[in-house]
Amino acid sequence: MIVTVTLNAAVDRTLLVPNFQLGRRHRASSGFLSAGGKGINVARALKRLGVPVVCTGLAGGRNGTMLVEELTQEGILNDFVRIRGESRTSTAVLDPTSNAYTEINEWGPEVAEDELEMLREKLAYLGQGAEFVVFAGSLPRGVDSDFYAETIRDAGRHHHLAVIDAEGEALRLGVGAEPYLVTPNVREAEEMVGHEFVDDEDLASALDEIAELGARNVLITGNDGCHALLREDRTELRLRARAPHLEPISTIGAGDSLLAGFLAARAGGRPFEDAVRSAVACGAASVLEPGPGRFDPREASRLTPLVTVDRLERVAS
């Protein structure tokens, strides 16, 4: 089983607005609500891939009730800590004519220490049957930036494989706790190593720079695939994987689907190179759908053999 942890869960509202322009009045052509947050997006994708998964995290108020009900309707097992504050709402405006999207994310609720302690206890319980524990997304107000680092160390002590997909100080501290896998996008990776990337050589070099911060394995996700440094026993594998060219409907949550594809393949015992190929195919399939984690696994299977994977040499420091 895989456990995903979403501290700053949200009710996501997605609006399709053709020819969206700031400062103008528009009428949405369609819209829908869904349970959101990076950990939830990963869980939704894992569910579609047929992998046993359970969502946990923090949920509060009417929004919290709504997102738990939505997950239950989707058939995604969930066990959230109910908090006193109101879970946030996030709004995404997708312009289908230009494929541009605009996100407006609320900060989220204040979280008290007793609520975090209940979450720690829940993680200890759910983790008993888990192989991977995924810590994903931003931290709500009142949560120290070392929370992920603390819980990753706890997971390691219980022999669980911890994965972190976050940003900023929470990501930096979390990587220092030596997780099994970290999956920054290009911007987040640049912030971690302290410089911008000009070319593929910079990205390849960044894999080792991030690994030196503490992560065993690194996936840097981009618009067309990922760069990967993967280590098992005494072997190291550096890969550059590219997806076939597609006309995207929405790129929201593509990285979450990519991560789910990788974990699903590894949980199924597949080797690293196959897992990366499957991951990029899932990320590519997800851009053909308007909602995060809502892709067709058959489309991902069709795209898998079209993903190109090249081996990289270590870049001399």
Task: Check residues 198 and 166 and name the one with the higher pLDDT.
Answer: 166
- What domain range is 203 assigned to? 2-7+37-87+110-311
Q: Is the dihedral of CA 282, 288, 293, 298 positive or negative?
A: negative
Distances (CA, A) of 254 to 11, 258, 259: 18, 6, 9
- Please report the pLDDT score of residue 99 as a whole number: 73
Burial-class residue 19 by CB neighbours within 10 Å (0-12, 13-18, 19+): exposed
pLDDT value, residue 251: 81
Which of 215, 226, 212 is closest to 257 using CA atoms?
A: 226
Element housing 300 (H / E): helix 297-303
Specify the pLDDT at position 26: 84
Task: Identify the CATH number of the domain in which residue 301 sits.
Answer: 3.40.1190.20
Question: How distant, in Å, are the alpha carbons of 58, 78, 138, 140, 177 from that of 52?
Answer: 20, 11, 24, 27, 26
User: How much is the pLDDT for 12?
Assistant: 86
Of the candidates 26, 8, 192, 165, which has an alpha carbon nearest to the alpha carbon of residue 102?
Answer: 26
14: in domain: no
Phi, psi (rounded to 5 degrees) for 187:
-60, -45
Q: How confident is the model at residue 174 (pLDDT cuts 50, 70, 90)?
A: very high
d(CA 134, CA 151): 11
Statement: residue 316 has pLDDT above 70: no
Q: Is residue 71 part of a domain?
A: yes
The angle formed by the CA atoms of residues 11, 113 and 169, to the nearest 5 degrees, is 70
Residue 236 belongs to a domain = yes
For the cut 70, the answer to whether the pLDDT of residue 80 exceeds it is yes
For residues 14 and 94, the answer to whether their CB atoms sit within 8 Å is yes
Q: Say if 21 falls within a structural domain.
A: no
| pLDDT tens column, 243-295 | 999 988 778 889 999 999 999 999 999 999 999 999 999 999 999 887 778 89
In this prediction, residues 213-238 reach a mean pLDDT of 94
Q: Does the structure show a pLDDT above 80 at 313? A: yes
Q: How many CB atoms lie within 10 A of CB 132?
A: 22
Does 55 map to a domain?
yes
Helical segments of 158-249, H only: 168-176, 186-193, 200-212
Lowest mean pLDDT among 14-28, 106-120, 168-182: 14-28
Q: Which residues contact 3 (CB under 8 A, 6 or more apart)?
A: 53, 54, 55, 56, 123, 126, 127, 130, 132, 133, 134
The pLDDT-based confidence of 113 (bands split at 50, 70, 90) is very high
Q: Mean pLDDT throughout 303-317?
A: 88
Number of domains into which the chain is organized: 1
pLDDT(21) > 80 = yes
Burial of 75 (0-12, 13-18, 19+ CB in 10 A): exposed
DSSP letter for each residue of 17-37: -TT--TTS----SEEEEEEES
Q: Which of 22-31, 70-79, 138-147, 184-193 has the lowest mean pLDDT?
A: 22-31
pTM: 0.92
In a domain, 190, yes or no: yes
Residue burial 165-202, b: 16+ Cβ < 10 Å; e: rest:
bbbeebbbbbbbbebbbbbbbbebbbbbbeeebeeeeb
More confident residue, 142 or 136: 136
State which of 124-128, 192-196, 229-233, 278-282 shows the largest mean pLDDT: 278-282
- Residue 22 inside a domain? The answer is no
How many H helices and E strands in the chain?
Answer: 10, 15
Q: What is the pLDDT of residue 293?
A: 82
The mean pLDDT of 186-215, rounded to a whole number, is 93
Report d(CA 199, CA 256) in Å as an integer: 24
Average pLDDT score, the chain: 92
Q: Let me know if residue 169 belongs to a domain.
A: yes
| Of 42-56, 91-105, 138-152, minimum mean pLDDT range | 91-105
- Tell me, what's the pLDDT at 103? 81
Q: How confident is the model at residue 314 (pLDDT cuts 50, 70, 90)?
A: confident
Q: Is 59 helix (H, G, I), strand (E, B) or coil?
A: strand
Q: Is 32 a residue whose pLDDT tops 80?
A: no
pLDDT of the residue at 317 = 63
Each residue's pLDDT tens digit, 50-61: 999 999 999 999
Nearest C-alpha neighbor of 201 from the set 314, 280, 310: 314
For the beta carbon of residue 214, count every other beta carbon within 10 angstroms. Answer: 17
Percent of the chain with pLDDT over 70: 99
